Structure 1
Amino acid sequence: MAVVSVIGHKGGVGKTTLSINVAAAITQALDLTKTDRSICLFDLDLRLPTITGILNCHPQKTFFDLFETLANRTYQVDFLQTLYQILVPFQAYKAGNIPKENPRLLKSIAMYKNLNEKLFNYSEFEFGDPIHELFLMRGDIERPSDLKKKEVTQLFKRIDINKFKNILREYEGNTRPNIDEYISYIEEYGFAILGGEVPVLGKKHHRQRINEPEFLALFLEFIEEVCEEFGHVILDTPAGGINHLSSLMNSIDQVLFVFDVSNTIATKGSIDALHTFIDYYEDFYSNYKNGRLTGLDKSYVDRLISTRGEKAVRQALESKKMGIVFNRYQNTNEIHLCLDQLREYLETLDKYEEYKDRIHLVGLLPNHKVIKITNNRGTIFYDKDKMLSNRVDAVARSIIDPNAVCPTLAYSNAEILSKLEKKSGPSLSRTFSRIASSLS
């Protein structure tokens, strides 16, 4: 499995266009072994998803539906977990096992008074009726002695705390939706997509939930489960590329940065985006090595270790590939200038020696009329324009061919341009056939 994230420093630099066409190129390369689970293209832009519109496809379910499902199920689990934390001290007090001054008991009464059942569906729960009655009694229970009232005692007899605990465990283990409902295979293009037509974060409670570690962990675990289903995954990552997805970004195989070199401001923004990612990555990796990961990062990495093994996760973090695709260049001077600025920037930060062999230059896309895109709009041009297709083939090769060699920042500018132009030559189709045959 190869998972690659395509990142741009802002919207409109070409990441969506590149993501779509790289997916098409990989599909072409793997034609001999293609199945509906070979390649998947993710639209991870939760604010303004565009890929389904560009490809004119309409998935059965989108990330909006996923958020609704996860939110509802998570609220159910949250509510049940809170109830369990309340009921255990209540039952212990009624059985005479703890005194009325017990801190846990007093805390549970406070939790009970502030219990929020906003999204809890009682009808789906085996103890729904008694739990609902208990919720309605909140105004009658002010102190521990109120728990010994006759009506409360009778109600507690109807709630088997051990059975309640077992049901809670079932709910906790069943918060995952069926991934097959969210994957759409597009036969015309030969790859699957996962994403949405509706802006997920346009809904208030979704914006709130995406900032909650427990909920975000569920979302990232879902993404990871889908990735495990496919041989190759391309992530069209939102502008900036970090934020809520930092755990995911730090754990995948390769990150491709789209460098818009059409003007100096765009070039500087691209370099800043790369630096930001390096900072995130270094902090993440340092905390991982020293056992200091916390919260979402820790729970996510722990899950990866449980499925892939400690060695595989460590190797993925140690050998993370970082690539750059130069987009919208009009002449080679723009590439020279960008490379010089990037080296100078890394030198200033004392990071050049560390990263000069880790940052790979994987592709060149010219300022072509076909891919002049604005406002997060993309286009699929693969197999329609020979020159552009050859250049995208070069990017795809760096992803699927384990023996592919790309120039790094340690090369001279002339060597980098020479090798990138050579990689984009017409002979790649034969190379792809060889790669596909070796994978069959």
Structure 2
Amino acid sequence: MDSILLKNANIISEDQIIRGGNLKIEDGIITQIDDIDNFDSSTQIIDLKGLYLAPGFIDIHTHGAAGKDTMDCDYNAFEVIAKYKASKGTTSFLLTTLTATQERILDVAKLLNRYLHREDSLGNILGIHLEGPYINIDRKGAQNAKNIRAANIDELDEIINILGEKLKLITLAPEIDGASKLIPYAYKQGIVVSAGHSNGSYDEIKRGFDCGVRSATHLFNGMRGLHHRKPGVVGACLEDDRIAVELIVDNHHLHPAIVKLVIKMKSFEKIILVSDSMRATGMPDGSYDLGGLETVIEDGVARLSAGNLAGSTLDLNYALKNLIEITGLNLVEGIKPLTLNPAKLLGIADSKGSISIGKDADLVVFDQDFNVLMTIIAGRIVYNILDK
């Protein structure tokens, strides 16, 4: 039995910080917290010396990092992205596609399905978030317009036949042709349907919610905004308690006042922080490809040539830092939009998203400045710079 004892940590649990606490992992599962009453000579003991020990971050929207993108469609890209995300504390994430031809999407799905069955995969890729191609061209953002099309159940079935339950989430515009049929179909398959890249009216979006839409992709960005006589997509998402909302808290996509406003308006468990990171994340400024579109990175901000924001270069550990600095939330609450809340949306909160006995040992160790020093996935240390 593989066993690790993490001692002298500030453990961020669901309701408190356990100061100087201990945590035991056996065969990839959290088995004891704080009062550790038994361990043998084979147990690996790691003294965390007062560092924070938190549930691993869950990113439901990330396109790439470290020079690689989901749509590169090769094993090396998946592996590089997975390792980079782990180095920033992300223990579970959804590789996110871009609007592309059906052929290209199927190629990505097939290769990822094979990759996930490899014994040497890192274990932090949960599946795919299909962003596009069923979006509104008027709110395409950094999506390639030539591949935008009407919602198509036959196409979706082809993807489901390859990925099965690994197709976790789909972003679409509820108002476009075919969406009213595809939304309830996807919902019945257990896929989370998210409203995004949408120019729908308030009434159109609410009808989408009634059909099964349960979240909003990068709220305020890539969607019709809020007007006091035309609430639009944003108004519908803020008003409806069924809807979880993604926020990109990088101090570029959203003004701090908007972040605070959303948190005041929405049930807190419906707030989900995402990176929406693209291949330039962790890379120097310069020019990068994003789904066939040239993206320029300047001072870490990604924009198309026309000036539109084009994804981000955000890491979730710094999203957490930004959220706490903006809102004044404590760590116990502040970490939930990166951990427990996305786990609930994906229906995996029984095994991930918090530090509890019986849950997967997906953990991150960070210091008071939110620098990640160790990441553990299913009880396996996959990143460690504690002694550097």
TM-score of the pair, normalised by structure 2? 0.33
Higher relative contact order (CA 8 A, sep 6+): 1
TM-score of the pair, normalised by structure 1? 0.30
Structure 1 or 2: larger strand share?
2
Structure 1 or 2: larger helix share?
1
Could you say which structure has the larger radius of gyration?
1
